[in-house]
Amino acid sequence: MRLTEELKKSSINIWEKIYRHPFVVELYRGVLPIDKFKFYVIQDYNFLIGMTKAFSLVAAKSRDYELIREALTLAYGDVTIEMENYIKLLDKLGLKLEDIIKTEPSPTNYAYVNHVLVTCSLGSPLECLVSTLPCFWTYLEIAEHNKGLVKENKNKIYLDWINTYLSKEYRELTMKLIDIVDRMWKNEEIDVLKRIFIISSRYEYLFWDMAYNLENWMIK
């Protein structure tokens, strides 16, 4: 069994709860309150920047030219293609990037990004990529599991967002990351990698929950 299959198996109970989270289900049906979606989009900026830094750390720590190239390609995609799509979404929602940059990350957002960056700073390149994988992979799985719900969806903003994760390009990007993780696995202890993957999977669930409940700091 490939490493990524073992990792997915370790977190499948969490993933199944992600597929059924109210935020996800209501988004795919087109009935999610727009304030919850805006909150999610605003918070997503911090995560997008964090992922860019994570892939840059992989490149900085690696001596493998091919891995450096692939990691920088992922980082570059985050700050170009992803950011361009993000800005377009902001325009549709009547939001401005300069205002979002000033927004403080919610507790869950802050913790998730720090989990990834600490893993990437102190761990191996493989451990770093494993920490990022649940984000890419669960979004692909969410789309596959809930695509039947879009027949009820009349919200063009939501449909445009959903179609990104149903696209051939997104599938290819995710499968590329899965392939890189499988190719890199050599002597690392699988229990350590599973632990990292499970924590990131938990945070994926919590990120949806954060947005659905408009999470904020309990004390300021």
The two tokens of residue 98 are 């300069």
Tell me the mean pLDDT in the region 57-69: 93
pLDDT higher than 90, residue 79: no
Q: Is 16 designated active site?
A: no
Distance between CA atoms of 49 and 187, rounded to whole angstroms?
A: 30
The two tokens of residue 41 are 């989009």
pLDDT higher than 90, residue 48: yes
| C-alpha angle 188-190-193 in degrees, rounded to nearest 5 | 85
Tell me the mean pLDDT in the region 102-111: 97
pLDDT for residue 148: 95
Query: How buried is residue 98: exposed, middle or buried, by Cβ count under 10 Å (0-12/13-18/19+)?
Result: exposed
pLDDT higher than 80, residue 76: yes
The two tokens of residue 170 are 């997104």
Q: Work out the pLDDT band at 74, boundaries 50, 70, 90.
A: confident
Q: Is 120 designated active site?
A: no
Establish how many alpha carbons lie within 13 A of residue 90's alpha carbon, considering only the half-sphere containing its beta carbon: 17
pLDDT higher than 80, residue 161: yes
Calculate what percentage of the chain has a pLDDT beyond 90. Answer: 87
Tell me the mean pLDDT in the region 74-87: 84
The fold of 3-212 is Heme Oxygenase; Chain A (1.20.910)
DSSP 73: H
Tell me the mean pLDDT in the region 104-114: 98
Among 70, 128, 135, 141, which one carries the catalytic annotation? 135
Average pLDDT of the chain, as a whole number: 94
Tell me the mean pLDDT in the region 120-145: 96
Tell me the mean pLDDT in the region 57-65: 93
pLDDT higher than 90, residue 12: yes
pLDDT higher than 80, residue 81: no
pLDDT higher than 90, residue 85: no
Distance between CA atoms of 163 and 70, rounded to whole angstroms?
A: 25
Q: Where exactly are the structural domains of the chain? A: 3-212
